[in-house]
Structure 1
C-alpha cells in the first residue's frame, strides 16, 4: 500500500515546465518565445481518498535563454500521515522541430532534475520527448514518450501519454488526456480559461490508478517580457 500512496507524488513530479503545459501531465512541444518569461503555480488536493496525496503545491518560473527554455521547479507533496517531500530542481526544454507558432508539427526534448530537500537529498528526474500535431488553429494533439527516475531508489519507469486540446475560442480551451507514469495510468479532464492574452487559469480533475484516486487542481499561468 505504501508504494501506491507515493505513486501520485512520483507521477506528478517534473510535469509542466512549458507555458502551454500548465498542470497537465501531457506536455506540448512548444517553448517560450525569445525574450519572454513565465511562471506557473498550482494547488492539487485529493478529497476523501485516505491513500492519496493530501495536497501538492507547485511553483515553476522559466525564461527563454538562447534556443532553450530554462526553468526551476519547486514542488511540495504532502501525504496524510507522512512527512511532506520538497523537490527542487532545474528543467530544460528545447524545441528542435517546428519552433514556430504556425508549425503543423513540432517536437521537443525536455529534461528535469529534482532533489528532495526533506528526505536526505534524494535525487530523481525525468526525460520526455513531447510531440504536437496541430490539426487546425483550434485543435491540437499532444503525445509524450520518456522515462522517470524516482527519488530515493532511482527506479526507472516509462512515461507516455496522449492529449487532445480544443480551443472553443480565445477565452476557453478544453483538454482531455490519458497518461502513464510510475507504472500507473491516469485520466484527466480540464479547462484553461484565458483571463488575458498572457494570463490563464487551469481547472482539472484526474483519476489515478486501479483505485481511481481523485485529484482536483487549480492553476495559474502568466507570461511576461523579461526586459
Structure 2
C-alpha cells in the first residue's frame, strides 16, 4: 500500500500549476487556523455557525457566548478574500448578537480591507415548531478609500427545522452599496439547506442572489472535530458574468 503522503503529493503535482498553488494556499490557511483554534479550544466549545456561507440562519448565540469564524476564499482567476469575524451575545441583551468582521480582498494586484460592524436580533423562536425568525444587519467601511462608507445590508433570516437532522434557511433582504462610486440599492434573497449526515458531518448547500446583481451557489461538507471545532470546505460558482468559481476553507470556534 502506498504512503498517503506520497499519494497526496503525486495528486498535487498532477494538477495544473495554478490549481496546485490555490490548493496549497488553502491548505496552509486551514493548518494555521486549526493550530490557533486548537490552542483556544481548551477553554471553548464550538457548534455550527454561518462561517463562509452567505445565507444566514435565524439562530443566535446563547447569552454570554461568542463565536469566531475565519475563512479564506481563492478564486479561479487569482482573486482571494480573507475574513475573520466575531459575534457575541451579552447576558444583558439575551436576544441580540453583536459583532464585527474584517475582510481583506485581493484582485489583479489591487487590495482592499473592510471593517463591518454587524448585529442579529431574534424576533421569534418556537422550538416546539422548529421555527425561528431574526433581523440582521451590517455596515461596511473601507480602510484605503477616500470615501470610507461602503454600504449597508439588512436581512430577515428565517429557519425551519422539520426534523432534528434537517434545517431549511430562507433570507430576504436589502443592500445599499457603492460600486465604483455609483450607489446601488438592490433586493437580496437566499435559500439554504443543512443536513446532518452523521454526528461529525453536516452537508450544506445554498443559492443566493441580488436583483440585477450577483447570482451564485455554494456547497460543501462541514466537519465537526469533536464538540469544539467546525471546519468548512466549500466550492462555489457565480452564475452571472464570467461565471467565476472559488474554493473556500474555514473554521469556527464558539466559547
Class of the TM-score when normalised by the shorter of the 2 chains: 0.7 to 0.9
User: How many residue pairs were aligned?
Assistant: 201
Which of 195, 215, 219 does residue 185 from structure 1 map onto? 215
Which of 29, 32, 40 does residue 58 from structure 2 map onto? 29
Which of 181, 195, 198 does residue 225 from structure 2 map onto? 195
The alpha-carbon deviation at position 22 of structure 1 amounts to 1.1
Which of 226, 243, 247 does residue 216 from structure 1 map onto? 247
The alpha-carbon deviation at position 103 of structure 1 amounts to 5.2
Query: What is the CA–CA distance in structure 2 between the aligned matches of 1:145 and 1:180, rounded to whole Å?
Result: 10
Which of 80, 90, 111 does residue 137 from structure 2 map onto? 111
1:158–1:183 CA contact under 8 A, matched in 2: no
1:88–1:116 CA contact under 8 A, matched in 2: yes
SS in 1 for 2:182: coil
Q: Is residue 2:85 matched to residue 1:60?
A: yes
SS in 1 for 2:198: coil
More helix by share: 2
Query: What is the CA–CA distance in structure 2 between the aligned matches of 1:223 and 1:198, rounded to whole Å?
Result: 7
Q: Which one has a bigger Cα radius of gyration?
A: 2
The alpha-carbon deviation at position 155 of structure 1 amounts to 1.2
The alpha-carbon deviation at position 198 of structure 1 amounts to 2.9
SS in 2 for 1:39: strand
1:106–1:132 CA contact under 8 A, matched in 2: yes
Which of 122, 127, 130 does residue 157 from structure 2 map onto? 130
Structure 2 counterpart of 1:156? 185
Query: What is the CA–CA distance in structure 2 between the aligned matches of 1:139 and 1:190, rounded to whole Å?
Result: 15
The CA deviation string for residues 119-168 of structure 1, in whole angstroms up to 9 with x for no partner, is 22132111000000101000111000001211343311121011111011
- Structure 1 residue ranges, 4+ long, deviating more than 6 angstroms after superposition: none
Query: What is the CA–CA distance in structure 2 between the aligned matches of 1:95 and 1:41, rounded to whole Å?
Result: 24
1:62–1:69 CA contact under 8 A, matched in 2: yes
2:48–2:230 CA contact under 8 A, matched in 1: no
The alpha-carbon deviation at position 170 of structure 1 amounts to 1.7
Which of 79, 100, 106 does residue 72 from structure 1 map onto? 100
2:124–2:134 CA contact under 8 A, matched in 1: yes
Structural mapping, 1:164-175, within 5 Å = 164-175=193-204
Structure 2 counterpart of 1:98? 125
The CA deviation string for residues 39-97 of structure 1, in whole angstroms up to 9 with x for no partner, is 000000013x26xxx1101010111021210001101111114x212110210101111
Once superposed, what is the RMSD of the aligned Cα atoms? 1.8
Q: Is residue 2:116 matched to residue 1:89?
A: yes
Query: What is the CA–CA distance in structure 2 between the aligned matches of 1:156 and 1:131, rounded to whole Å?
Result: 22
What TM-score do you get using the length of structure 1 for normalisation? 0.83
Q: Which runs of 5+ in 2 are unaligned?
A: 1-46
